[in-house]
Chains A and B, each alone.
Chain A
Amino acid sequence: DSGVTQTPKHLITATGQRVTLRCSPRSGDLSVYWYQQSLDQGLQFLIQYYNGEERAKGNILERFSAQQFPDLHSELNLSSLELGDSALYFCASSPYSEDTTEAFFGQGTRLTVV
């Protein structure tokens, strides 16, 4: 168990809908990273938050947004969902703002858009 908790584990929704994925980082970790993993794209970095502030942005679509709350949990919001958004979404946490060498991953949320 990595100590990173993601909910829900599975999500099935229809195209055009909006969903929220939740991540609770390891105790004491200030950084939260969101990744998307699909069969054809591998693990793609979406966005990082550090202590409530956006720190780095990757290949995140404008339909997607994230935030980190004062208690350090984070939410990833996906809207106007398309079939191609079906993927595993992982959250990782780390104590550091720049160093990802000690990033620990949650078990992921499997999103299926039908």
Chain B
Amino acid sequence: QKEVEQDPGPLSVPEGAIVSLNCTYSNSAFQYFMWYRQYSRKGPELLMYTYSSGNKEDGRFTAQVDKSSKYISLFIRDSQPSDSATYLCAMSGGFKTIFGAGTRLFVKA
């Protein structure tokens, strides 16, 4: 079993839709939870991070962490074609950071 599981997609939605991206994990030592966006042939770009459980909002993006269920989510409101990218979750505990495989998202105009 992988430490971090993420559905690779692809996920295709119409412009304006609410997108929900999710990851599950097995290691309860993870304390920091990050979401990265990666455009084709580019490096991952940090979108937001959360410490421990709870919600964090930044513009159209909301990150949610449920440590009891070992489940994290990223919600994108009013999705735009420019949001089309691969979204990677990442989790960190001390020295160790593990990335999910990434979910490919396509937002159709």
Chain A positions within 8 Å of B, measured between CB atoms, are 2, 4, 33, 35, 42-45, 48, 55-56, 90, 92, 98-108, 110
Contact = CB atoms under 8 A, between A and B. Distances in A.
A101 B98 CA distance: 12
Interface stretch (B11-19, B42-50, B69-77): B42-50
Interface of B: 32, 34, 36, 41-46, 49, 51, 88, 90, 92, 94-102
Nearest to B91: A100
A99 B32 contact: yes
Interface of B is mostly: strand
A90 B95 contact: no
A45 B41 CA distance: 18
Given A42-B102, A43-B88, A100 B97 contact: yes
B94 A90 contact: no
